Amino acid sequence: MNWEMNPGRRKFLQSLGCCVTIELIPNINFAYQPKVKQLAAAPAEVPLVLEFGPATEVWAYNGQVPGPLLRYQQGDTLRIELENLLEEPTTIHWHGLRVPVTMDGVPVVSQPAVPPGEKFRYEFVLEDAGTFWYHPHVSSSKQVGKGLRGVLIVDEKVPPEVNRDVLWVLDDWRLNQEAQIVPFSGNRHDASHNGRMGNVVTVNGNIGEEFTVYPGERMRLRLVNVSNARTFSLQFKPIIPWLIALDGHPVTPRKIDDEQVVLGAGQRADLIVDIPESPSESLPVIDHSFGSEFAYELMHLVFDSTQTYSSSVSAPAKLPANPVPAPNLHQAIKHKMVFEGGAMGGLSGAILNGTYLNMRELVERDKFWALNGMVPDDVLTDPPILTLKRGQSYIFELINRTAFEHPIHLHGHSVFVISANELPVEFPMIRDTILIAPNEKQEIAFVADNPGIWMFHCHVLEHQETGMTSMIAVI
């Protein structure tokens, strides 16, 4: 049966020349397992499209997509054993957590990838509170794209007062008519354009329709974009949420009025959402991933008046800062990071392994992207492109000379975003993944305080695997 043809409340969305994008939504009651000690990566079947079609074969942690929600308190020690029940090596990378490099899950530089049938024990102290996530760092486009990804919440010692703490894991899949994942074939068009865009969006692992809210309640809504490539741009109107954290780190709470909540691949946002006291029939949450003309309804907020709250009018308090060292901007050493390449990027060539190759020669090697005129050969064994001095402050000027946006992720550190297009940022933020638009320039500053060799890459996983990645050493 062709599940796409099913009647139902699914909406269709043209996605930039590709297939039809079907937007689908969950009824979220996220299973939280307090005592997860083991994550087994294995093939599984999950009901991504629910009653609209057959179960989807995925790769999953403990049989669940997204993986089990891991939850700790700030200062706790995480102890998780990964068991690899796949037919290929894997690892876990703890995205956004400032961990020792041996726990970072990057093959070769952190640990040998865990072979099929074997186990690896991760153990580290959770220094920062916030919303984080985990995923493999081996064949990322395929392993993450087939379903290996989950969320890790680290609670503040005193969490803010809300009626509910809610998690929406936003994901994007490319499914065929049988609701099966389209094979990962190293699609050159995806890799040289905006990555593998899906045709199905899920929230918390399935295509629900509605999310129940209670009149007057104050929710903390944690949004996590675990998709391979898609940027979500959410609009909650007529509700005006407060933004309280980005990538796990507190911001001064501010109302998101006409702005959209933008999440590049890998990014997170924590909101405070005040539900009105007088119910309307339902309220839409709209995603503008591909601009307003392709906007679609990601979620319906549906009122349940069996439980009511008197609405909060006060601004939420700022969350306590995480212990991220503040860079010294006067003594910071500056480095330019120029991203080039991709379709319509006008890159004529770049250096690979000491040899200049023209664009055609790069493409023959499945390399589409360059950083500072260089393309990695094998990023795991190439020498680092930069060596930073431990304890020193640095400013990276990220310059996007491509026709696409890129969520740039640095491992092992959280960075202060200080300027965009030569202007100081209006709202200071600390992030681990920085979304840079075409022709944009952003400056980030940080103290290189975590010794090791760290990955620095685009989180569009198809870009990461075709040149947009490199290593930075801190010694």
Q: Out of ligand C2O, Cu ion, none, which partner does residue 411 contact, by CB within 5 to 8 A per kind?
A: ligand C2O
Calpha distance 256→270 (Å, rounded): 12
Considering only the stretches 28-36, 109-117, 180-188, 453-461, report the one whose residues sit in contact with ligand C2O under the rule CB under 6 A: 453-461
Instruction: Tell me if 264 sits within 8 A of 405, measured CB to CB.
Output: yes
Under DSSP, the state recorded for 138 is S
Residue 458 site contact among Cu ion, ligand C2O, none (CB < 5 to 8 Å, cut-off depends on kind): Cu ion
State how far the Cα of 54 lies from the Cα of 73, in Å rounded to an integer.
Answer: 38
Rounded CA-CA distance 100/449 in Å is 11
CB 470 within 8 A of CB 444: no
Least distance from Cu ion to the Cβ atom of residue 275, Å = 36
CB-CB contact of 394 with 334 (8 Å): yes
Q: Cα–Cα–Cα angle for 270, 398, 401, nearest 5°? A: 115
Q: Which of 10, 230, 249, 457 binds ligand C2O (CB under 6 A)?
A: 457
Phi and psi dihedrals of 101, rounded to 5?
Answer: -60, -30
Sign of the C-alpha dihedral computed for residues 251, 256, 261 and 262 taken in this order: negative
Name residue 434's beta-bridge partners.
408
Site string for Cu ion, 406-425 (x = CB under 5 A): x-------------------
Q: Tell which one of 25, 455, 460, 471 touches ligand C2O (CB under 6 A).
A: 455
Rounded Cα distance between 441 and 99, Å, is 28
In whole angstroms, how far apart are CA 270 and each of 150, 231, 267, 420? 16, 16, 11, 22
Considering only residues 381 through 420, tell me which ones interact with ligand C2O, judged by CB under 6 A. 409, 411
Cα–Cα distance, 307 to 295 (Å, whole number):
32
Q: How many residues bind Cu ion (CB under 5 A)?
A: 4
Residue 463 partner contact from Cu ion, ligand C2O, none using kind-dependent CB cut-offs of 5 to 8 Å:
Cu ion
Residue 367 binds which entry of Cu ion, ligand C2O, none, CB below 5-8 Å type-dependent: none
Q: Find out whether 147 and 60 touch, Cβ atoms under 8 Å.
A: yes
* Helix (H/G/I), strand (E/B), else coil: 466: coil
Spell out, one character per residue from 134 to 173, where the chain touches ligand C2O: x when CB under 6 A holds, - when not. -x-x------------------------------------
Q: With contacts defined by CB under 6 A, name the span among 24-32, 160-168, 391-399, 454-462 that binds ligand C2O.
A: 454-462
Q: Out of ligand C2O, Cu ion, none, which partner does residue 95 contact, by CB within 5 to 8 A per kind?
A: ligand C2O
| 460 interacts with Cu ion by CB under 5 A | yes
Two structure tokens written together for 410: 């640095």
Residues from 264 through 293 that contact ligand C2O (CB under 6 A): 266
- Choices 54-62, 346-354, 356-364, 405-413 (CB under 5 A): range interacting with Cu ion: 405-413
Binds ligand C2O by CB under 6 A, chosen from 46, 66, 95, 473: 95
Residue 467 backbone phi and psi in degrees, to 5:
125, -20
Residues from 301 through 340 that contact ligand C2O (CB under 6 A): none
CB closer to ligand C2O out of 109 and 251: 109
Partner touching 460 among Cu ion, ligand C2O, none, CB below 5 to 8 Å by kind: Cu ion
Nearest-approach distance from CB 254 to Cu ion, in angstroms:
28
Q: Which of 357, 339, 353, 349 is nearest to 442 (CA)?
A: 339
Site stretch for ligand C2O (CB under 6 A), options 166-174, 231-239, 342-350, 452-460: 452-460
Whether 209 and 302 have beta carbons less than 8 Å apart is answered as no
Residues contributing to the site for ligand C2O (CB under 6 A): 93, 95, 135, 137, 266, 409, 411, 455, 457, 459
